[in-house]
Chains A and B, each alone.
Chain A
Amino acid sequence: MNFEFSDDQKQLRDEARRYLAEHSSPKAVRNVLEGRAPYDKELWKGLAGMGFLGVAIPEEYGGAGAGHLELCVIAEEMGRALAPVPFSSSIYLAAEAIMLAGTADQKQKYLPGLAQGTTIGTLALFEGAGNPSQQKIATSVAQNKISGTKKPVPDGAIADIAIVVARSGSSGRETDISLYIVDLKGIGIARKDLQAVDPSRNQAEITFKDAPAEPLGKAGEGWDLLMQVLDRAAVLTAFEQVGGADRALEMGRDYALDRIAFGRPIGSFQAVKHVLADMYVSATLARSNCYYGAWALSTNAGELPEAAATARISATQAFQHCSKQNIQVHGGMGFTWEFDCHLYYRRSNALALGLGSQSYWEDALIDRMRRKNAAA
């Protein structure tokens, strides 16, 4: 047993951290947050150039072919730097779905562009309020033409292609659901930007009207594939969340060391120390659960569904907890637009919802644990 990233992986982490510190500064994040750009195009190109986008995409499809542990390492750094780019949509969702279910031709067609950042992908799943549920999918496909409205679609306004979850049958069962790849620049597409709690990442509504759709994976296996994609994305997103949680903890710690009140650094008051200690506890638990998830993801272990849900729940808690307490430690300053605390607060609450909310994953985890118990 060895429960730690390798030296090479740690080196990759340092490299990514350095790169992102320079190119994904709070100023760059604010540029997108304040609406001056839909995402940071320079950063996106740079990340592609560094080989970070395609780190887990096989070499034959234009990636670096390193693997998922390396992708976890990059994800953590993206979260730490709040990178204002469609990394999660394009890589954890679209590229993962295509790697999982695509034919050799589809992989050849899409993966190189995703790895190089010239194609941006996303997943179009939700249709208004509610958690993932096949009953809520009204978007439908007939003769490879898709119609319906998806919202919110992460990075929907900037993506080139979407993996769309749609209804291809009418039996009322999960097997009615299939996945499709849709060219968002093609015909029959209307897109609308949506306001969101975290404007540093795009959210959009996409309406499909007889748009050409290319099947991804077998017809009727869409829901099952979607569950696998969500599990994989859950682990990767959990790394982003842990990266963000750690940074929020550091910000709080640094501020507590520098800020003087009552003639002492506020970090010398136990009330503040204990707040920070509790942040450390939740960030540490989440990190350890993420490592377990990373192992399951990278080995495609049977434990993945349970490990992914565990990492997801734990990391959501940790990031929300650390980002909100970071504001608290900053006092009035933490409540200003000028200080960066709110950037983490926003992101933590956005990441908490994107793949289904906390209660959805809690439910899923207990289901999975019961199934495992019953099987044992």
Chain B
Amino acid sequence: MNFDDTPQEAAFRAEARKFVEENAPKELEAELSKASLGRIKLKDRNIVDVGKAWQKKKAEGGWACLSWPKEYGGRGATPIERVIWQEEEGIYGKLTSPFQIGEGMCGPTVMAYASEEHKCKYLPKLASGENIWCQLFSEPSAGSDVAGLRTRAERDGSDWIVNGQKIWTSGAHYSDYGILITRTDPTVPKHKGLTMFFLDMKSKGVEVKPIKQVSGASDFNEVFFTDVRIPDSQRLGAVGDGWNVSLTTLMNERMSIGSRIATGFPEIFAFCQNVINEDGVPAVEDRAVRAKLADWACKASGLKYTSYRSISALSRGERPGPENSIGKLVAGVMVQDIAAYAMDLEGAAGVLNDAETAETYGPFQAMLLGAPGMRIAGGTDEILRNIIAERVLGLPGDIRVDKSVPFNQIPTKGRT
């Protein structure tokens, strides 16, 4: 048990620190430190543009997609080096949000299944931020039950023709490419008839419609496919093997865990030291407030050190297990509770959501309106609990009525 950097790790940290100091967009430091969870709003600049510029600099310096092999634009870094980098990158890490799906999920899937030619063509541009990728999995009738998806791909010579609809696709409106899971055979049980592709989002027949979400922002979209042609060479994995390919995507999501999950704790801790209560003292002086803060402090710290344990396991060559599902499960609820609690401490003025009028009004309100999405995106709280119960604790799977039925015979209507 050892927290100290080895000499190599210390050297790596020094190099990372120097790079960040010399290259990070310092002019955004104040704004980024204040930007709370959910959406990062910069006053005069578009987060995607700023993010791309930072990503490009990182790629030039060899600091992009650290765990990827060098030949695809990465650095071949160890899991611990990735954590060190994240620590040193600090608040500028917030600028990487448009690339996270590409780095953590799309890229590794392409790496595992695409031809060498395609890997060399697409991955370095993903790493350098020149291209942004999105994940086209969920559909109106297939979210938690993603294997129930209906978007069809039909073979036509050396192409596939895709028709259907995806939904909740984060970043589709600024993405250049996407990985897309489709149904290629509806006559076999649902997990067996799926096939994965990647496609150019500018392909003819792709239409992206932003969805306005609770927070008022539009980070995700509906994506419609009308006779979209995808060359067979862009298929990822065998025909009918799309479910297994999608599991690779999700496994890689776990590999890319870091110590960066947002919990809202630093924000509420700082807030409680500043906000003055009815007794004329900072809220943190109040025993009841302290009890809440201590509980959240322990959760945040527990998550941090759980990720350190996972990283140590990864470093020893062990595979990351489903136990990492606890991160988002704990953090999502926590952010939501913290937001409501901070607003409670603000009293009636907690209702105000106007960043212009006062310092305190705004960040927690934004958290409040963003948190519900955290508890749904990438696996709902309930699905995460099922995963822990079944894969970690070994409890029986849910009784599934549709598992071995041909997909096209599964009922699609409830009461008629």
Contacts and interface: CB of A to CB of B under 8 A. Distances in A.
B382 A276 contact: no
A12 interface: no
Contacts of A285: 298-299, 302-303, 306, 326, 330
Interface stretch (A46-54, A85-93, A356-364): A356-364
Contact of A281 (B301, B330, B399): B330
A366 interface: yes
A277 B388 contact: yes
Contact of A3 (B303, B309, B394): B309
Given A276-B389, A277-B388, A284 B326 contact: yes
A161 interface: no
A292 B326 contact: no
Contact of B294 (A3, A277, A361): A361
**How many B residues are at the interface, by size bracket?**
35 or more
B3 A280 contact: no
Contact of A289 (B269, B298, B395, B396): B298
B308 A1 contact: yes
Interface stretch (B128-136, B232-240, B250-258, B310-318): B310-318
Contacts of A317: 295, 298
A265 B395 CA distance: 9
A373 B270 CA distance: 10
Task: Tell me the dominant secondary structure on chain B's binding face.
Answer: helix
A268 B399 contact: yes
Interface in A147-206: none
A291 B1 contact: yes
Contacts of B2: 1-3, 295
B398 interface: yes
Given A3-B3, A274-B385, A285-B303, A366 B290 contact: yes
A251 interface: no
A235 interface: no
Contacts of B80: 1
B159 interface: no
A60 interface: no
A138 B330 CA distance: 44
A313 B388 contact: no
Contact of A4 (B297, B312, B395): B312
Nearest to B272: A366
A5 B301 CA distance: 19
A281 to B, nearest CB: 5
Interface residues of A, number: 48
Interface string B85-115: 0000000000000000000000000000000
A310 interface: yes
Contacts of A268: 395-399
A257 B396 CA distance: 8
A4 B299 contact: no
A150 B169 CA distance: 65
Contacts of A373: 273
A288 interface: yes
B315 A2 contact: yes
Interface in B116-155: none
B353 interface: no
Interface of A: 1-6, 69, 249, 253, 256-257, 264-265, 267-268, 270, 272-274, 276-278, 280-281, 284-286, 288-289, 291-292, 294-295, 298, 309-310, 313-314, 317, 359, 361-363, 365-366, 369-370, 373
13 contacts: A3-B2, A253-B393, A280-B326, A281-B388, A286-B302, A288-B303, A288-B304, A289-B302, A292-B305, A298-B1, A359-B287, A363-B294, A365-B297
Which 4 A-B pairs rank lowest in CB-CB distance, beginning with the nearest?
Answer: A285-B302, A362-B294, A273-B389, A288-B305
Given A277-B385, A280-B388, A366-B293, 9 more contacts: A1-B5, A1-B311, A3-B312, A265-B395, A270-B382, A285-B330, A314-B301, A363-B290, A369-B297
